[in-house]
Amino acid sequence: MAAPAPEADVPAALWARPVDGGVTRPFDPPPDRYGAGHRGVDLAGAPGSAVLAAGDGVVVFAGMVAGRPVVSVDHAGGLRTTYEPVDAVVGAGQPVARGTVLGTLAAGHAGCPVEACLHWGLRRGEDYVDPLSLLEPPAVRLLPMY
């Protein structure tokens, strides 16, 4: 099943990677809403390194989920990004700009092949979307002049 992409009205220039590391596990959407899959991407990092907000928004959650520290940020257009495991320095209700430090990367993400990995997720409403699609430049098509 192909995952939905952010709508064309979401400019790539408004988004940035939350950490600099490479992808250690790509987005792998489940075949259905409740199926197994990987609903985000894992990015390599170092324990204690800063995790940055990928875009402007408002923190809607910073706390523990199933024993892991998570931060969630709501953005315009019905988008929500999630970051884990992150020891938060922000709290719910706090506005953030792209590049704002949300917290520090904690070690211990299951399946991470390096010291620490950030699981970065993105939803549009209830649909999971590949967060790396936020970073892709928009397609430009040149038309001939007549």
Domain ranges of the chain: 12-129
The set of residues, in sequence order, having a beta carbon less than 8 Å from that of 47 and lying 6+ positions away, is 104, 105, 106, 107, 115, 116
State phi, psi for 134 to the nearest 5 degrees.
Answer: -65, -25
- Is 26 a residue whose pLDDT tops 80? yes
Domain 12-129 top-level CATH class: mainly beta
* pLDDT score at 7: 45
pLDDT at 11 over 70: no
Nearest alpha carbon to residue 135 among 45, 34, 17: 17
Parallel, antiparallel, or unpaired for β 68-75 and 101-105? unpaired
Q: What is the pLDDT of residues 117-131, one digit of tens each?
A: 999 999 999 889 999
pLDDT at 39: 84
Exposed / middle / buried, residue 87 (Cβ in 10 Å: 0-12, 13-18, 19+): middle
**Pick the residue with more confidence: 11 or 120?**
120
